[in-house]
Amino acid sequence: MEFFFQQLINGLSLGALYALIAVGYTVVYGIVQLINFAHGEIFMVGAFGAFATWVLLGSPTTWSLAAALFVLLPAMILGGVVVSVAVALLTERLAYRPLRTAPRLAPLISAIGVSVFLQEFIRLFFGYIPGMPDSKRAIPFPSVEGISGASFQIGQVTVQMPAVFTIVALVVCTLFLWFYVNRTKTGRAMIATSQDPDTARLMGINVDRVIMAAFAVGAALAAVAGVAHGLRYGNIDFRMGFLSGLKAFTAAVLGGIGNINGAVVGGLVLGVVESLATSFIPGQFGSTAWKDVWAFALLILVLVFRPQGLLGAKVVDRA
Amino acid sequence: MMTIGSESRQRFELPARIVGGVAAVVAAASVLLSWSYDPAALDDMSFWGAPSPLQFHYLALGALAAILYLLPIALRPRNGSWTNWVAWNTAARFASFTLLGFPVIAVIAIALEAGGLINVDPGAWLALGAGVVATLAGVLLPTSPEPAMHRIKTHPVIQILAIAAGMGALLFAAVFALGLQDAGAFLLYAGFAAGLVLTLLRLGVFGWLAVCAAANKRVLVLAAFFVAFAFPFTQNGSEANMSIATQVLIFGATALGLNIVVGLVGLLDLGYIAFLGAGAFTSAVLSGSAFATINWTPPFWLTVLISGTVASLLGLLIGSPTLRVSGDYLAIVTLAFGEIFRITMNNLDGSDGPNVTNGSDGIPGIPDLNFFGFDFGATHVIFGVTIGRFANYFWLMLLILALIIVVFTNLNRSRIGRGWVAIREDELAAEAMGVNTFALKLLAFATGAFLAGVAGAVKAHHDVSVTPDQYVFLESAFLLAAVVLGGMGTVMGVLIGATILKLLPEKLRFFSDYRLLLFGLLLVFMMRFRPEGIIADERRQLEFHATDEELAEEVEEELVTYHAHYNPDPKGQK
Amino acid sequence: MNKRIVKLAAVAFVATSLAFAGCGSRTESTSGSSGSTKVAKIGVIAPLSGDLSALGLGIRNSVDLAIRQANESNAIPGWTLELAAEDDQATPDVGKNAATKLASDDAVVGVVGTLNSSVAQSVIPVLQPAQIVQVSPANTSPTLTRGSDLSNPKRAYDNYFRTCTTDDVQGPVAAQYLLDAGIKKVATIHDKKSYGQGLAEAFAAAFKAGGGTVVAGETINPDDKDFNAVITKVKSAGPEVVYYGGEYPQAGPLSKQMKAAGLNVPLMGGDGIYDPTFIELAGSAANGDLATSVGAPVETLESAKSFVEAYSNAGFSDPMGAYGAQSYDAANAIIDALKVSLKDATDAKSARAATITAMADVSFDGATGKVAFDEWGDTVTRVITVYKVTDGKWGTEKTLTAE
């Protein structure tokens, strides 16, 4: 039984990571009906931004527990968010906005281009920034006292601190997002734009700004996910965005794309399914080598039987 | 750049012609001087009075520019005469740009390859100076009206000769470019070719050639295949270029299959490489290799059919559930499917699943094909020319490519093809008009997959070994890029796109670390500035430039003339 | 200006330029000046760009070093050796093109490479018909030398040799070491690639044969980053050591995540994890982890020390990587064979077949120990050293000889 709970905990923390990224897909899709294929790379860039912030702080390794938790960690998150948001806004401005009236294939292909470009840019040029290590292979993510490598036991179940951090981050971010969308002016403008962009424009809403806000919010959450990824796995590399991004998209579809709560639920469900599948599918197909296959198979099943997703967002097809 | 009024342009015309013409002559003459001190740079431009092959190309370009500048002085183009249908000035301007660009690339290449600008000899500097003067003169010339060379009436014999000459030039250019080992020389030649093509395009020659080609379609197709067929004879047994050429054909054939799905029906498939992989793995398993997991070796024609069928079954399997959802989802679902395929091939190794593919080792040692005693692995001598292993596969692929082109063009022109285009342009409207959208989409998926499977069957034998890591997402993206770069929905465009994407990385290996970076940028820039690709399908072009009224009228006019029997309404969509 | 003048000018221009073009001559004045020495090339096919370029560049540089030394000492009188390095990007397709290019260069007599067994499968069939000898410093898949059916071995390619040991030597040595240390329960994990899987299977077989128990056998995907699921499964089986078949990019994070998840047992692997990067990626979790690698430790072997010294003096910008010594030995093995085959040869191409024949008699003390090949083309060296991470550094634990 503790084996089940252990995999459940693993799955929930993995799912929280997917959910943080998935929100970015869902927010952007809800407003511009664009699958931001490069969102996985925004997440990756956030992790590198956090890493760079750590280097700028003098690569601290021996800070006390309090300093690490209340100065270092927030600074790294902030650094990651700044970099992610900047890159996201830049790509929106340069690669997506000019294509807003083009057929739908165009922005999607452009997004694939951005995705490949960002990966390669980090791989080739991150190392040229003074003080940064060569990024052509994985680089070790800084340890944060009290989180990295730390864990506690509940009975036989080991709970790792990075998992706790990821879940807490998801809760905080979701609350913040709920407040932002429902209680601020920009947030309500977002809702209005997602329902009907033309009318929203007539009502005096600056649609460009709303779209930028959507990209920024998604990027900020992705950056938090980037930090969580670094703490959880201890390494970051330029390719980490591809698979995580794909999984997060799956999570967004699972929950109902366009629906923020759906992204959170979809992420958690996907994480748990992936974890449990490797333990409870009997025989050769239960090997961990198949876990990505089960995740993607879930995506296809959902699209066949419940295309609107678990929480049933309205699928608007405005092609 | 400063804008110059049309009046002053008129006043400057004659002096500009003379200055430009002289500059072009000087530029051409500069090849008689040495360009590079170091003989190792480019293709040895270190001789005095004896131009290298590339310098001869520059000489020809200079002569062409001089003619474009000076001939109108004598001819005095008049309205209604052929002389006025030729866009002398615009062409002269582009020829001048090329005259300038060529020595610029040459100087940079010499400096990089030989180590420093000190190695650049006077000839190159003279050409550079002449190029600058010619460019200034070209900018000063008034812009010509749109070229109308297609209105020139030409005797059919001359038309056929023109096609033959064009094909000959193409073969010569391909052989020459592949023969260049030096990366700088290759770039220089690519720049020259691009400049020349642009110049001729502006002059209106291609408009005229298009008319010739349209009047002699069969001759054109035959000539094209003859040229492609003759290509191995120019290589004299050298395998390196034949290997690249065969890969271009395999890649191009696969891209054509994808073109049905993306270009005609407008469905974005990001996991297309899986179908090529399915064909390759099927063919490998049935090949009789010592590592094959099935002990049955059918004749190759049957293997090809089985491979294609397996791939198209996979296409149906993935298509039937997902083609009901909207296009964006399809892109990601196919991407996920591509990953599922790769991981599955990796896992069917006996320990995580039944042993079919040997896991990541894949299936090596696939024997060469043997048709009625003709061993594809052996070297043959035909007409005194050595024909190596890759040349055999080249011909086989050429045959398959021809087949694919026939299928593609016939489908495109048929009722099915029109249904596809209708789906692409407006699925709801198509459905309302009684088009069975789901069945047609599924058919496109299966057909595309079948073609890729067939290409994969040959690829397995050509490659000798099939491994799962050959079929990653990036390869799908490359296929998509070939379609996008060349021009969605066209045959020529996709073949050109495939050639560029396969050939350039082979020739510019020093660049390999930046290959993907440029690839990403290329996709973004293509979408931003020329989404219809190098060679545009006209209906498609209209879709991407919805606000361009002039283009809309032009396209409509042509559509009415060419397809009088049906009437698409290009204005009806977003 | 009238028509005639223009026409005249045009004709004159074309005529003079043709005349000028004709009067010069492009006779080669440079060739033949170097006169008596002929050129033979040794090719390299390795990933020079991309993910694994750190290993590939080390291979290229080590071969370069061997060639330079041979030229300096005039090892083959009358001949100058040159390096022809081609990038395979660790992809079979690109590797095949590289091989085709080298095979059509008549001066190429031998090739060092490849890094990946999967690339080798595409490269060997191109080089074999051209009779170009190929020596790999890193391919560990047994089928490359012994054919598809290992129980009934048959030499697959007569031109193929290697200076690294295969999986079935390293795995059993690791098993022996653990059994000697009193370990009875292990779990194996591998990355499903030919190297990792072969190693893990060879290890597991030997460990069971020696009386130990393999309590869990798991696999991961080579591009995985999240190993928590597999660790949880392994942990519940309670092993004393986890044996990992694979390379350092996954092994480092795996070790780190293992210890974070409370599975505090050493991780052991083959030469694919014996790299400083492993420790960098695993952090302090690496302490106590073990690896085997081919050959005696560098500090105990005179020939190895001189190689390391020469490499650092040669001014290469990249480190030698995990396969530097093997590559150096591979190049020297080819050079040794060339001493025989090129002696009376008129041109490089005609010496290709003789070079393959001469490989059988190659025998010298290289940077990894004794270099010679058995009837399959595998190295005869059976010396394996076990290394252990202490205080963030690889240290020598024990040197063993496989039977």
Instruction: Report which of residues A75 and B187 the model is more confident about.
Output: A75
Most confident of A13-22, A271-280, B474-483: A13-22
Chain A residues with beta carbon closer than 8 angstroms to that of B262: 105
Please check whether residue C286 touches A, CB under 8 A: no
Burial class of residue A133 in the structure, from the number of CB atoms within 10 Å of its CB (0-12 exposed, 13-18 middle, 19+ buried): middle
Q: How many domains does chain B have?
A: 3
**3-class DSSP state of C46:** strand
Whether B280 and B134 map to the same domain: the answer is no
Q: Give the 3-state secondary structure of residue A295.
A: helix
- State which residues form the domain around A224: 2-238
Structural domain of B544: 539-574
| End-of-domain residue from the set B424, B455, B472 | B472
Q: Residue C342: its pLDDT value, please?
A: 87
Chain B residue with minimal CA distance to C102? B240
Indicate whether B184 and B264 sit together in one domain: no
> Three-state SS for C74?
coil
Q: Edge-to-edge, what's the strand order for the sheet holding C38-46?
A: C79-87, C38-46, C108-113, C133-136, C160-162
What DSSP state is assigned to residue B116?
A: S
C259 in Cβ contact with C249 (< 8 Å): no
Integer angstrom CA distances of residue B423 from B486, B568, C372: 22, 12, 67
pLDDT tens for each residue of A59-72 = 888 788 888 888 89
Interface contact B548, partner A, CB < 8 A:
no
Q: How far apart are CA B340 and CA B336, in angstroms?
A: 6
Say whether A229 sits in a helix, a strand or coil: helix
Q: Do B290 and C93 touch (CB under 8 A)?
A: no
- One domain for residues C137 and C182: no
Q: How far is CA A24 from CA A177, A296, A316, A317, B273, in A?
A: 11, 19, 18, 19, 28
* Confidence check: pLDDT of C367 > 80: yes
In chain A, the number of structural domains is: 1
> Looking at the structure, do residues B166 and B191 belong to the same domain, yes or no?
yes
Alpha carbons B457 and B304: distance in angstroms, whole number:
6
Q: Which residues of B touch A115 (CB under 8 A)?
A: 520
Minimal Cα distance from C3: which residue of B?
A: B74
Query: Is B119 a member of any domain?
Result: yes
Structure tokens at A286: 């239960």
In the numeric block, the tokens 């550094």 are attached to C393
Closest CB to A287: pick one of B268, B324, B352: B352
Residues C156 and C232 occupy one common structural domain: no
Residue C104 in any domain: the answer is yes
Nearest by CB to C281, from A6, A235, A291: name it. A235
Determine, for residues B361 and C118 on separate chains, whether the beta-carbon distance falls below 8 Å.
Answer: yes
- Spatial separation of the C-alpha atoms in residues A238 and A221, rounded to whole Å: 18
How is residue A111 written in tokens? 């997004």
- Are C125 and B512 inside 8 Å of each other by CB? no
Domain of C272?
168-293+385-401
Q: Is residue B256 a contact partner of residue B405, using CB atoms and an 8 Å limit?
A: yes
Q: Do residues C104 and C172 share a domain?
A: no
Is B275 in the same domain as B295? Answer: yes
Q: What is the pLDDT of residue B379?
A: 76
Q: Which of A188-192, A241-245, A263-267, C95-99 has the lowest mean pLDDT?
A: C95-99
Q: What is the ipTM, given to two decimal places?
A: 0.89
A304 part of a folded domain: no
Judge whether residue B352 has pLDDT over 90: no
Pair (C216, C266) in one structural domain: yes
Q: Looking at the predicted structure, is the pLDDT value of residue B328 above 80?
A: no
- The residue among B409, B273, B283 whose CA lies nearest residue B341 is B273
pLDDT at B572 over 70: no
Q: What are phi and psi of C109, to 5 degrees?
A: -115, -20
Structural domain includes residue C133: yes
Mutate to test the interface with B, among A39, A97, A120 (most CBs of B within 10 A): A120
Instruction: Please check whether residue B532 lies inside any domain of the structure.
Output: no
- How high is the pLDDT of residue A138? 83
In a domain, C314, yes or no: no
B286 and B179, same structural domain?
no
**Tell me: the pLDDT tens digits for B246-269?**
889 999 999 999 988 888 888 888
Of C45, C76, C79, nearest in space to C63 by CA: C45
Query: Residue A273 domain-assigned?
Result: no
List the beta strands (DSSP E) in A22-143. Answer: 139-140
Chains that touch B (3 or more CB pairs under 8 A): A, C
For position C5, what pLDDT does the model report? Answer: 53
Q: Do C93 and B247 touch (CB under 8 A)?
A: yes
Residue B514 lies in a domain: no
- Other CB atoms within 10 Å distance of the CB of residue B161: 13
Q: Are residues C267 and C174 in the same domain?
A: yes
Contacts of A153 in chain C (CB under 8 A): 262
E strand intervals along A125-250: 139-140, 151-154, 157-160, 235-236
pLDDT tens digits for C13-66?
A: 555 544 444 444 454 444 444 456 788 999 999 988 776 777 888 999 999 999
**Which CATH number goes with the domain that contains C180?**
3.40.50.2300
Question: Shortest Cα distance from B425 to chain A (angstroms)?
Answer: 9
Q: Is B302 exposed, middle or buried (0-12, 13-18, 19+ CB in 10 A)?
A: exposed
* C-alpha dist (Å) from residue B571 to A226, B426, B539, B556: 46, 12, 11, 9
| Last residue within a domain, chosen from B451, B472, B493 | B472
Q: Are residues C243 and C255 in the same domain?
A: yes
Q: Write down the pTM of the prediction.
A: 0.85
B277 has a pLDDT exceeding 80? yes
Q: B223 and B248: one domain? A: no
Q: Are B182 and B203 found together in one domain?
A: yes
Residues C152, C179, single domain; the answer is no
Instruction: For residues B81 and B104, state if they share a domain.
Output: yes
- DSSP structure class, residue A309: T
**Cβ–Cβ < 8 Å for C239, C183:** no
Partners of C155 on chain B (C-beta within 8 Å) are: none
Looking at CA atoms only, how far is residue A195 from chain B in angstroms?
Answer: 18
Residue A81 CA to residue A76 CA, distance in Å, equals: 9
Query: Alpha carbon B345 to chain centroid distance?
Result: 31
Q: Is A120 within the bounds of a domain?
A: yes
Question: Mean pLDDT lowest for which of B30-44, B97-111, B542-556?
Answer: B542-556
Q: Are residues C132 and C198 in the same domain?
A: no
Least confident segment among A5-14, B366-375, C116-125: B366-375
Between CA A121 and CA A231 the distance in angstroms is 23
Closest CB to A95 among B318, B519, B524: B524
- Inter-chain residue contact C229 with A292, CB threshold 8 Å: no
Average of pLDDT values for B386-412?
A: 86
Which among B324, B329, B477 has CB closest to A112? B477
Asked if residue B562 has pLDDT above 70, the reply is no
Task: Choose the weakest-confidence range: A48-52, B257-261, C4-8.
Answer: C4-8
Contacts of B479 (CB under 8 A, 6+ apart): B251, B254, B255, B258, B272, B273
Task: Examine residue C311 and state whether it is found in any structural domain, yes or no.
Answer: no
Q: C229 and A274: CB-CB below 8 Å?
A: yes
Give residue-wise pLDDT tens across range C142-170.
Answer: 788 887 777 778 888 889 998 887 777 88
Same-domain check for residues B256 and B400: yes
Residue B542, pLDDT above cutoff 70: no
Q: Which amino acid is at B64?
A: L
| Residue pLDDT, tens place only, A1-48 | 778 888 899 899 999 999 999 998 999 988 888 888 899 999 999 999
The 3-state DSSP class for residue B454 equals: helix
The full DSSP string for B510-557 is: GGGGGHHHHHHHHHHHHHHH-TT-SS--HHHHHHHTTT-HHHHHHHHH
Strands (E), C170-281: 185-190, 213-219, 241-245, 267-269
Helix (H, G, I), strand (E, B) or coil at A60: coil
Question: Is residue C4, in this structure, part of any structural domain at all?
Answer: no
**Residue A49: predicted pLDDT:** 95
B437-451, B541-555, C260-274: segment of lowest average pLDDT? B541-555
β-bridge pairing C290-294 and C267-269: parallel
Considering the domain architecture, whether residues C350 and C237 belong to the same structural domain is answered as: no
